[in-house]
C-alpha cells in the first residue's frame, strides 16, 4: 500500500509542468512564493483583506496538492481500467478461438479436383471439398454428410461421404480434427471423354451398400459437417454436366 502512495507522491511535481496546466501551475507557484517572501506584497494583501492569515497561500498549495493527488489516483484508475479492457478483449478472443468450429469449403485445383486419365480417350473427373477445424480444440467424431439433393428424391439421405485416400473397405464414416487440421472429402465424380458423354454422376458415399448413381443433370447438393460439441456447418454446392459431358462443380 505504501508503495502505491509513494508512487502517487512522486507524480505530483509533474502535474505542475503538464503542457495544458503549465501556465496556471507556474502562476500559482509564483504567487505563493511572492507572497511568502515579499513582505510588502504580503502587507498589501493583509491591509486589503483584514483578518486573513499570512499563510493563506498554503491553502492554495494544499488545494493544488489535493487536486493533484486525486488526479494521479484517477489517472492510475483509468490506466488500470484500460489494461483490464485490453485483457478482457484478449480473453474474449481466446475464448472465441478455443471454441470448436467447422468449415466446409471448395477451391480450385490441388486436391479439390482430380483427373484420372485411363489412356483410352476416357477419364474420370472427381471433385472434393475440404473440412477444416477453425477452433483451438480437437473435434472428435467429425462426419461430413450429404443431407439432400434438390430436384432429386433420394431416400437414403443423409449419408456420410468418403474421405480422401481412405482406400480400404469398410470405409471410415467419421474422423477427428485437431486445431487447424484439414480433411478432404470426396463428393462427386463422372466419366468423361470418348464413349462417356452420357455417363451418370457418381456420388462418393462412405457406405457401399447404398446406390450412388444419379442421372446426368443439374443439382444442388446440401452438405453438413458435424462433430462432438460443435455447431453443425451447412454448405450448398452446385453440380451439373457441361459441354461434351464435362462435370462442373461449384460452391453456392
Residue-wise pLDDT for 186-196, tens only, equals 999 999 988 78
Q: Which of 231, 236, 126, 109 is nearest to 185 (CA)?
A: 126
Cα torsion angle, 102, 105, 111, 114, sign: positive
What pLDDT digit, counting tens, does each position of 16-48 carry?
Answer: 555 445 556 566 666 666 655 666 655 665 555
Fold for the domain defined by 102-251: Immunoglobulin-like (2.60.40)
| 165 phi/psi in degrees, rounded to 5 | 70, 10
Asked if omega into 136 is within 30° of 0 (cis), the reply is no
CA distances from 74 to 68, 80, 88, 160 (A): 10, 10, 21, 61
Domain ranges in the chain are: 2-98, 102-251
Predicted confidence at residue 109, as pLDDT, reads 82
Predicted confidence at residue 19, as pLDDT, reads 43
Burial 45-69 (b: 16+ CB within 10 A, else e): ebeeeeeeeeeebeeeeeebeeebb
Predicted confidence at residue 108, as pLDDT, reads 86
With a cut of 70, list the residues of the chain below it in pLDDT: 1-74, 76-77, 93-98
Amino acid at each position: 500500500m505504501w508503495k502505491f502512495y509513494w508512487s502517487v507522491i512522486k507524480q505530483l511535481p509533474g502535474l505542475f509542468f503538464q503542457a495544458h496546466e503549465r501556465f496556471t501551475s507556474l502562476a500559482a507557484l509564483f504567487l505563493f512564493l511572492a507572497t511568502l517572501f515579499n513582505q510588502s506584497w504580503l502587507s498589501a494583501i493583509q491591509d486589503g483583506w483584514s483578518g486573513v492569515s499570512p499563510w493563506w497561500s498554503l491553502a492554495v498549495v494544499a488545494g493544488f496538492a489535493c487536486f493533484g493527488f486525486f488526479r494521479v489516483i484517477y489517472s492510475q484508475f483509468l490506466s488500470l481500467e484500460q489494461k483490464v479492457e485490453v485483457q478482457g478483449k484478449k480473453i474474449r478472443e481466446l475464448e472465441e478461438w478455443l471454441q470448436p468450429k467447422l468449415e466446409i469449403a471448395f477451391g480450385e485445383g490441388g486436391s479439390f479436383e482430380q483427373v484420372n486419365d485411363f489412356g483410352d480417350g476416357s477419364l474420370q473427373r472427381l471433385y472434393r471439398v475440404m473440412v477444416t477445424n477453425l477452433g483451438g480444440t480437437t473435434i472428435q467424431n467429425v462426419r461430413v454428410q450429404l443431407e439432400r439433393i434438390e430436384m432429386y428424391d433420394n431416400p437414403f439421405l443423409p449419408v456420410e461421404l468418403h474421405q480422401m485416400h481412405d482406400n480400404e473397405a469398410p470405409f471410415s464414416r467419421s474422423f477427428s480434427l485437431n486445431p487447424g487440421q484439414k480433411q478432404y472429402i470426396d463428393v462427386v465424380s463422372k466419366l468423361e471423354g470418348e464413349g462417356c458423354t452420357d455417363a451418370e454422376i457418381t456420388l462418393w458415399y462412405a457406405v457401399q451398400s447404398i446406390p450412388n448413381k444419379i442421372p446426368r443433370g443439374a443439382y444442388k447438393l446440401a452438405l453438413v459437417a458435424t462433430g462432438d460439441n460443435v455447431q453443425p456447418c451447412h454448405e450448398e454446392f452446385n453440380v451439373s454436366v457441361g459441354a461434351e459431358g464435362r462435370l462442373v462443380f461449384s460452391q453456392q
